[in-house]
Amino acid sequence: GDPLQGVQRVFANGVAFAAVKDDGSVVTWGRAHGGGNSERVRGQLCDGVQLVAGTFLAFAAVKTDGSVVTWGSSNHGGNSENVQAQLTDVKDVLGNVGAFAAVKRCGSVVTWGDETSGGDCDVFQERLNDVSWLAATSGAFAAIKTNGCVVTW
């Protein structure tokens, strides 16, 4: 059958697309090195995907169990192995040009990718709790906390 049948949502980064289908699987196309080829993680993208976010050359998918699957350029967040153990119970993920930020159900934030794009939030980690919303520019992130305070990095 047509791989682009039964599509619920389509997400994009700078050079590729990722479609989430009715069965929770993901189909990708576009520049291979920028996330258009998801072969490396195909087994993790065959079901349970809720949403996908992109940086310029990578994607991150949040699954129904709160786990996160990444692929594409490792320089742009396509490799999350350094923070994979922390990527549990994730409710949302957002990308900018080179990095990703994920909000966990407990309100904490996990980042990875290019440090100059906000991929390293360690210096702000103690303030990144009770986060309810994330926003991004091309090279920075802002977190809104439940008390109305904003933390940027």
DSSP string, 26-76: EEEEE-GGGTT--GGGGGGSSS-EEEEEE-SSEEEEEETTS-EEEEE-GGG
Domain limits for position 59: 7-152
Which pLDDT tens digits describe the chain residue by residue (153 residues)?
Answer: 788 999 999 999 999 999 999 999 999 999 999 999 999 999 999 999 999 999 999 999 999 999 999 999 999 999 999 999 999 999 999 999 999 999 999 999 999 999 999 999 999 999 999 999 999 999 999 999 999 999 999
Asked if residue 115 belongs to a domain, the reply is: yes
Q: 75 in a domain, yes or no?
A: yes
Domain-embedded: residue 126: yes
Give the strands of the sheet with 49-54, arranged side by side: 49-54, 58-63, 68-72
CA distances from residue 59 to 14, 73, 130 in whole angstroms, order as listed = 10, 9, 25
> What's residue 2's pLDDT?
83
Flag whether 2 is in a domain. Answer: no
Q: Which helix (H) or strand (E) element contains residue 104?
A: strand 99-104
